[in-house]
Amino acid sequence: MGLFDTMFNDVPEQKTYTPQDVREAYAVVLYSCANAEGNIGDEEVVFIDSLFLTMSIFQEHDGADYLQIAEKMYNTFTPDELLEGSFQFVKDEQHAQLFCYCCDVFLADGVVTEEEKKILEKIASLAKIDEETSKKIVEVALIRNVKDT
């Protein structure tokens, strides 16, 4: 081995994200959805926190605490690492539910950008949701998120 082999041939360290519990996994995924365009505003944070109030897994837990953890994780890991680690942690039978919540986050402002579409496709893949089912879920989310005028 040469003198500089260790300096120039090192493979970058592969980081793996593993949530502490299912609430953290949900919070990290939803935070990643809201931050798809590289910025997350107070409105998105409030929306996610209000979603937590409807989820049985967050009963007797403060959603704001989990959003703080999600923000910290988002600054530590890449979005792909977060999504992959979260979906590996969440039980298969919860994948469709989490995908539904992701759709709600993406549709909260009434517009789904190209970047958001790419992330939603990745989430559908990680959740192992077939195309037909994912389209049905998106259709329902569109109906639920129609803005009153």
Give the three-class secondary structure for 94: helix
Instruction: Indicate the residue type of 7.
Output: M
Core vs surface per residue 8-18: b (16+ CB within 10 A) or e:
eeeeeeeeebe
What's the CATH code, domain 20-144?
1.10.3680.10
Domain segments of the chain as ranges: 20-144
Candidate from 47-51, 99-103, 138-142 with smallest mean pLDDT: 138-142
Residue from 96, 98, 93, 78 nearest 24 by CA: 98
Per-residue pLDDT, 15? 81
Q: Is the pTM of this model over 0.85?
A: yes
> How do residues 77-126 score in pLDDT, each as one tens digit?
999 999 999 999 999 999 999 999 999 999 887 788 899 999 999 999 99
CA distance 43 to 29: 17
